[in-house]
Structure 1
Amino acid sequence: MPNENLLKQIEFIKEIDKIKYIQRRTKLLNSDRNENDAEHSWHLAMMALVLSEYADEKVDLLKVIKMVLIHDIVEIDAGDTFIYDQNKNHENTEEELKSAKRVFGILPEKQASEFIELWTEFEEGTSKEARFAKSMDRLEPLLQNTSNNGGTWREFDVKYPTVYEKKKVIKKGSAELWNYAEKLLDASVEKGILKK
């Protein structure tokens, strides 16, 4: 008979398969198919691996990867809130914390505590790892929308000031990536795929 911790870990692994069914508003690069949360998290982990040299401060890369892999697991219960939603705040919500406690609580106590702490740290964005992880989280949809002729910006009539405000979080983790992002935003305005 497997030990109790293993059974809890397997149960958690089965539970998080649900993240593959959480559809995001953004579409894959150069595609008309919506991305799911699992694809998004994997892409952020790869971005962190590839782009970590641009973090403003030396970061614990494993910690960043853990953060980006688990940050949206709470959406299994809470659902995905569109970053440009006008009716519901995209920031940390009571529903997300409740979900974090339930889903991560499936794990053995030590792992559950670690994952909840990592998720909370990411949401608060105060550590250097969380700031860089959030940079990845805001850069990826920017790359997607610029590759899709404006993507969700056009679809939901999101204007430049709103996009700029949401994307400037990138600057807190990487000045160099923010410089790149600003140029993409300016080019998007020039191309007419993002309205001023």
Structure 2
Amino acid sequence: MQAIVDFILEVDRLKAVTRKIRLRDSDRYENSAEHSWQLALLASSLAPHAPAGIDMDRVIRMLLVHDIGEIDTGDTMAFVEGGWEERKAAELAAVRRIFGLLPASEGGPLLALWQEFDDAQTPEAIFANAVDRAMPVLLNLANQGQSWRENGISHERVVRRVGPPIEAGCPALWRYLEVRLAEAREREFFGA
């Protein structure tokens, strides 16, 4: 029991990891724990649009653990280019440490879920990655491009980064977002 309590108190630190995007209609930036919670709800809501046979419970568990490594590494904005190999190595070390707080029988499966998400090869991981890429887009669209404008992110850069994984994991969501991103470009929601 103590190992579980220690683990849960350690992951509480995810609430202190600030992301680069504000909450809708707020001056406060979201944290990584809020992001993970919202992704789990988005995935569940998108279930009718998920590929046939997707294990939605697995997707939700994957989304709940996918950013745990940010406790040690901090958040990296989804639209940053370059340096991903170093960031992923640091996150892997972090999740090994954090999931290692649990007995191997409990921590091992969580680490495997994290790795599955990171590898993005299974249908569940491909769908989960689509959901993860979509949420910053949805918040930026709702916030008139707040983080795109503040960080000099162009329309082309957004489409290049999120288009392929969203289209691969949830084509209906990409069709929806592609139209909204074109409208956002016309409304000058982008920073470059």
TM-score, with normalisation over the residues of structure 2?
0.94
The answer on whether the counterparts of 1:57 and 1:128 sit within 8 Å (CA) in structure 2 is: no
The answer on whether the counterparts of 2:78 and 2:133 sit within 8 Å (CA) in structure 1 is: no
| Whole-angstrom CA distance in 2 between matches of 1:126 and 1:57 | 16
2:13 aligned to which of 18, 42, 50 = 18
Correspondence for 2:173: 177
Identity of aligned pairs, percent?
Answer: 37
Correspondence for 2:48: 53
| Whole-angstrom CA distance in 1 between matches of 2:142 and 2:27 | 11
Partner letter of residue 178 of structure 1?
Answer: W
The answer on whether the counterparts of 1:22 and 1:79 sit within 8 Å (CA) in structure 2 is: yes
| Whole-angstrom CA distance in 2 between matches of 1:26 and 1:91 | 23
Residues 40 and 90 of structure 1, relative CA distance in 2, 3 Å threshold: farther
Q: Deviations over 1:129-163 (max 9, x none)?
A: 11111111111111110111111110111111110
Partner letter of residue 191 of structure 1?
Answer: R
Following TM superposition, by how much is the alpha carbon of 1:172 offset from its aligned partner in structure 2, in angstroms? 1.2
Residues 91 and 143 of structure 1, relative CA distance in 2, 3 Å threshold: farther
Correspondence for 1:115: 110
* Greater mean alpha carbon deviation, residues 86-95 or residues 183-192: 86-95
Following TM superposition, by how much is the alpha carbon of 1:69 offset from its aligned partner in structure 2, in angstroms? 0.4
Matching of residue 189 in structure 1 with residue 185 in structure 2: yes
Correspondence for 1:3: none
* Greater mean alpha carbon deviation, residues 167-176 or residues 16-25: 167-176
Correspondence for 1:100: 95
Structure 1 outlier segments of 4+, above 4 Å? none
Following TM superposition, by how much is the alpha carbon of 1:91 offset from its aligned partner in structure 2, in angstroms? 8.2
2:78 aligned to which of 79, 83, 86 = 83
Matching of residue 9 in structure 1 with residue 4 in structure 2: yes
Q: Deviations over 1:10-32 (max 9, x none)?
A: 11011100000000001112322
The answer on whether the counterparts of 1:48 and 1:64 sit within 8 Å (CA) in structure 2 is: yes
| Whole-angstrom CA distance in 2 between matches of 1:191 and 1:91 | 36
Question: What secondary structure, in the 3-state scheme, does the structure 1 residue paired with 2:79 have?
Answer: coil
Question: What secondary structure, in the 3-state scheme, does the structure 1 residue paired with 2:78 have?
Answer: coil
TM-score, with normalisation over the residues of structure 1?
0.92
Report the number of matched residues.
191
Gaps of 5+ in 1: 1-5
| Whole-angstrom CA distance in 2 between matches of 1:144 and 1:91 | 27
| Whole-angstrom CA distance in 2 between matches of 1:145 and 1:180 | 15
Partner letter of residue 144 of structure 1?
Answer: L
Question: What secondary structure, in the 3-state scheme, does the structure 1 residue paired with 2:42 have?
Answer: helix
Gaps of 5+ in 2: none
